[in-house]
Amino acid sequence: MGVSGSGKSTVGEVLAEKLGLPFLEGDTLHPKGNVEKMSAGIPLSDEDRWPWLDLIGARLAEASDGVVISCSALKKTYRDRLRQKAAAPLFFVFLDGSLAVLREHMAHRTGHFMPLSMLDSQLATLEPPIGEPLVLRQDIAVPIDHIVETSATWLLGSEV
Ligand SMILES: Nc1ncnc2c1ncn2[C@@H]1O[C@H](COP(=O)(O)OP(=O)(O)O)[C@@H](O)[C@H]1O
Ligand SMILES: O=C(O)[C@H](O)[C@@H](O)[C@H](O)[C@H](O)COP(=O)(O)O
């Protein structure tokens, strides 16, 4: 989880491979209208996000053997909805970093629908999951491999 450009897709894919689990890119489940809105630089509303979160929840509900999903999950209510749906305890790797690092990530990314101008609203919407159960905060200023390595160690070592 994390705002746009925090590294969800990149970290998620490598982490899934390391854990031997399937990876699902959450953005692929956004309804067309949501993608059009974001492409036009208009932030999504709760109403826009619920159907999308429920599609992700449905995938979590059937993933009793485990799955890694990239999903912004910006608010606590969104995360709680996903927790309710999941077939197994749901772990969140929170990719957290400064506006400067996020800008740099997004500026280097090509062919993506999300404009840089959306970062402010993404950060304004974000409710950091600090204090919630099964959350690991990761500083995105460190290399991807290190984030993956420490996340995998945390996940494999966690007892629930
Ligand atoms: N820890 C990191 N260090 C350096 N570059 C990163 C890091 N995490 C992500 N990136 C790069 O930043 C860009 C955005 O990452 P991405 O995975 O698409 O983010 P998100 O899915 O959260 O929008 C990509 O070009 C990616 O390679
Ligand atoms: O909840 C949201 O506002 C969106 O899910 C957003 O956070 C997400 O970041 C976009 O789908 C863009 O995709 P990237 O995260 O890959 O930039």
Q: Where are the domains of the chain?
A: 8-155
When mean pLDDT is compared across 79-83, 90-94, 113-117, 138-142, the lowest value belongs to 113-117
**What is the mean pLDDT of the segment spanning 6-14?**
98
Q: Which atom of ligand 1 is found nearest the CA of 11?
A: 17
8-155 topology per CATH: Rossmann fold (3.40.50)
The rounded distance, in Å, linking the Cα atoms of 47 and 24 is 22
Main-chain phi, psi angles of 5, to 5 degrees: 85, 0
In sequence order, what are the residues at sequence separation of 6 or more whose Cβ sits closer than 8 angstroms to the Cβ of residue 88? 63, 64, 66
Ligand 2, pocket-test mutation among 39, 72, 95, most atoms within 8 A of CB: 72
Q: What is the structure's pLDDT at 115?
A: 86
Residue closest to 151 by CA, chosen among 70, 47, 35, 43: 70
Please state whether beta strands 68-70 and 23-25 pair in parallel, antiparallel, or not at all (unpaired).
Answer: parallel
Q: Does residue 67 line the site of ligand 1, with CB under 6 A?
A: no
Ligand lying closest to the C-alpha of residue 52: 2
Whether residue 154 has pLDDT greater than 90: yes
Q: What is the pTM of this model?
A: 0.96
Q: Indicate which residue's Cα is closest to atom 27 of ligand 1.
A: 10
CA of 102 to the centre of ligand 2 (A): 13
> Which pLDDT belongs to residue 8?
98
Coarse DSSP helix, strand, coil percentages of the chain, rounded to the nearest 5 percent: 50, 10, 40
Ligand 2 pocket residue status of 118, Cβ below 6 Å: no
94-114 per-position pLDDT tens digit: 999 999 999 999 988 888 888
ipTM value, please give it.
Answer: 0.94
